[in-house]
Amino acid sequence: MTQQLALKIDVDTYRGTREGVPRLVGTLQHHNAQATFFFSLGPDHTGRAIKRVFRPGFLGKVSRTSVLEHYGIKTLLYGTLLPAPDIGRKCAEIMRGVRDAGFETGIHCYDHIRWQDYVAGKGEAWTRREMQRAVDRYTEIFGEAPHAHAAAGWQTNRHALRLTQRMGFDYSSDTRGTHPFIPTWQAEIIACPQLPTTLPTLDELMNRDGITLDNIAQHILQLTATPSASGRTRDTLLEEPLAIRLGEPTTLAKSLVMA
Ligand SMILES: [Zn+2]
C-alpha cells in the first residue's frame, strides 16, 4: 500500500510570497507533487514579532534557526522601522499564478502577527473584522470566494471557528493534531471540518537532536514512514474523527472524504 500525504504550505511574509512561493511551485512541479498554499493577504508586520523576544522559548528558536538568515533583515524591520508592505496588493499576480498552475489556494490570514498574537483573547467583532478582511482580499485577488482557511500560528478562538462554518469554507486547517475532526466548543458543534497539521515544522526540528540541513528531509520522511495509528486522540477540540483518504502528495481538499 502506498502511503500518501497532503502538503500544506503556509506563506507568512512578503519575501516568502515573492521569492519563496515561485521556487516552491517550480520544485513541486519538478517532482509532480501537489500542495495547498495558504496566503497572508494583508500587511507584513513581521518586525513587530520582536516583542516575542520576551517570551519563553523565543531566544532558543532564534539561536537554533538563525532567524536573521532565514527571514532577512528587511523582513525583521517591517512594521517597525520600515513600513509594512501589503502582500496581497504587491503579490496578487504571484498568488494567481499559483492557482493557475493548478495548486489549491486558501486563506492564511490578513495580518499574521496581529492574528497570531491577539486572536486567542479577542471577541466576536475583532475576529469577524480580521477574517472578513482576509475573505474580501482573497476574493478581490482571485475573483472567487475562498473555500479553505488555515489560521496563522494555529491560533484560533470560538468566534473564528464559528466563522469557518458561517463563511462557508469547505474545511479549515487551524490546529495541530493527528486526525481530521469536527470541532465542538462547549457542546457547540461547528459544521466545518478541521484538517490538522500532523508533522513538526522545519524550524522546530532544526539543530535539535542532531538534525541539520543535511538530514532534515530524511528525518521528516522517517516520521511518515509508518501510517498513523487509527483511533481517537483526545484533545480539547477533537470530537468526531473523519475518514481521510490520502493520495500522492496532494491538496488538502482532495484528501478530505467525509465519512
Ligand atoms: Zn504562518
Domains in the chain with CATH codes: 8-172+243-255 (3.20.20)
Strand spans (E) along 118-239: 148-149, 171-172, 181-182, 184-185, 188-189
Cell triple for 22: 515561485
**Per-residue pLDDT, 67:** 65
Q: Locate cell 541539520: which residue?
A: 212
Cell triple for 153: 500560528
Rounded CA-CA distance 186/176 in Å is 19
Q: What is the pLDDT along the chain (259 residues), one digit of tens a residue?
A: 566 678 899 999 999 999 999 999 999 999 999 999 999 999 998 877 766 656 666 666 666 666 666 677 777 777 777 888 999 999 999 999 999 999 999 999 999 999 999 999 999 999 999 999 999 999 999 999 999 999 999 999 999 999 999 999 999 999 998 888 999 988 999 999 999 998 888 878 888 889 998 998 888 888 877 766 543 333 323 333 333 333 345 667 666 544 3
CB 137 within 8 A of CB 41: yes
**48, 68, 73, 81, 122 from 52: Cα distances, Å:** 8, 15, 17, 17, 19
Q: How far is the CA of 149 from the centre of ligand 1 (A)?
A: 12
Which phi and psi angles does 13 have, rounded to 5°?
A: -125, 165
pTM score, two decimals? 0.82
Q: How far is the CA of 40 from the centre of ligand 1 (A)?
A: 8
Q: How far is the CA of 1 from the centre of ligand 1 (A)?
A: 33
